[in-house]
Structure 1
């Protein structure tokens, strides 16, 4: 894909995050995206074909590794901590997580989105499991951990904390979420 095309798609997906986080998925229209982005509906349809593909692409795009990921290379424990801490809201209006919660709710009503959400979770579980396995192999994590079970427990923790942060969207709850995630990763470390 050409760099300009990728930038335009990333920009459009950012607009989608904003619109969905504010109005929900069911209210989203291609015309809204076009108006908010100052891009023609034809261009949007060219890149994404339909609303479902646009929304699914927005979810996939957001699951890319953080831009600072390279600085954690060599330490699976640091990588797991970094990715888990991304589940702490930066503010109660965090557009990505508001988009995500809307996507999760919509996937209970839309079969294609549900299938995609299940596949996305399976990929995420495999990735987190590989971080745990790598951490065990490098001696950072305790021997005897089951990588899949450990990753699943961590994912349950972070997803529960996201729900809690939406129910009580304040700085104290975000600090609690950060603390619980750090304790969860610390519990896996060898020698603790």
Structure 2
């Protein structure tokens, strides 16, 4: 759900309830409150009673739209994914050399995905909770695929016709950066120093991206295990 999209229209997709069955802000408030309270207190600590209270709705209304706490969490993840997608796609490409544009795009991803501690804490909790929930794990897999596609789209748009200068194809570069994002995201849950986290992101990112531009002789890359990766 992108910002400014009527929540009533979206709510029918998220909950299966008929359009117009609730005031336009109620579903959005419940989803946003779920993200906030799960980030602050964890899945077990964020009760549906407290989510309803903070969102300013009755518990009955919450359960009218979300049959269970797990379903509420699933829909909150979908809601957050659509918000992030809208934010990323709304970023304009920067002019300049390919490497500078690529680094700028990657830092946009950092700002949108990692600098918001509520988002990162919520997603870290989702990863942990999904270990014990097959439904949540399936939804998280869908979220991760969507996130990786968004990363790839952002990087490809940033460097355009210069993509053939990179050793790895864009989808594998996107997967590497997504892995970096997950690592920094998990660390952000326990490291309060934003400057230190940003420094780690920038250092590893510089290493990855500049390494992708170094010419490698031969048609295949040597792997640390001794395997060749075409």
2:205 and 2:92 map into 1 onto residues whose CA distance is 16
TM (norm. structure 2) is 0.67
Matched position secondary structure for 1:109: coil
Q: Is the CA contact 1:48–1:54 (under 8 Å) kept in the aligned structure 2?
A: yes
Aligned match of 1:156: 179
For the pair 1:97 / 2:100, whether they are aligned, the reply is: no
Q: Is the CA contact 1:158–1:181 (under 8 Å) kept in the aligned structure 2?
A: no
1:138 and 1:70 map into 2 onto residues whose CA distance is 21
For the pair 1:16 / 2:34, whether they are aligned, the reply is: yes
- Aligned pair count reads 188
Q: Is the CA contact 2:52–2:59 (under 8 Å) kept in the aligned structure 1?
A: yes
Larger Rg computed on CA atoms: 2
Aligned match of 1:72: 92
Aligned match of 2:224: none
Aligned match of 1:32: 50
Structure 1 residue 155, shift from structure 2 partner:
0.9
Structure 1 residue 137, shift from structure 2 partner:
3.7
Aligned match of 2:135: 112
TM (norm. structure 1) is 0.78
Q: Is the CA contact 1:85–1:178 (under 8 Å) kept in the aligned structure 2?
A: no
Given the alignment, which residue of 108, 111, 127 partners 1:82?
A: 108
Residues 94-103 or 146-155, more deviating = 94-103
Aligned match of 2:196: 173
Q: Is the CA contact 2:120–2:189 (under 8 Å) kept in the aligned structure 1?
A: no
Deviations 1:19-76 (A, max 9, x none): 2122211233322221222201232223323211211111122222354743415778
Matched position secondary structure for 1:138: helix
Higher relative contact order (CA 8 A, sep 6+): 1
Structure 1: runs of 5 or more not aligned: none
Structure 1 residue 133, shift from structure 2 partner:
4.1
Distance 1:181 1:158, change over 3 A: farther
Structure 2: runs of 5 or more not aligned: 9-23, 96-100, 215-230
The equivalences for 1:32-71 within 5 A come to 32-63=50-81, 64=83, 65=85, 67=87, 69-71=89-91
Structure 1 residue 175, shift from structure 2 partner:
3.1
RMSD, aligned α-carbons: 3.2
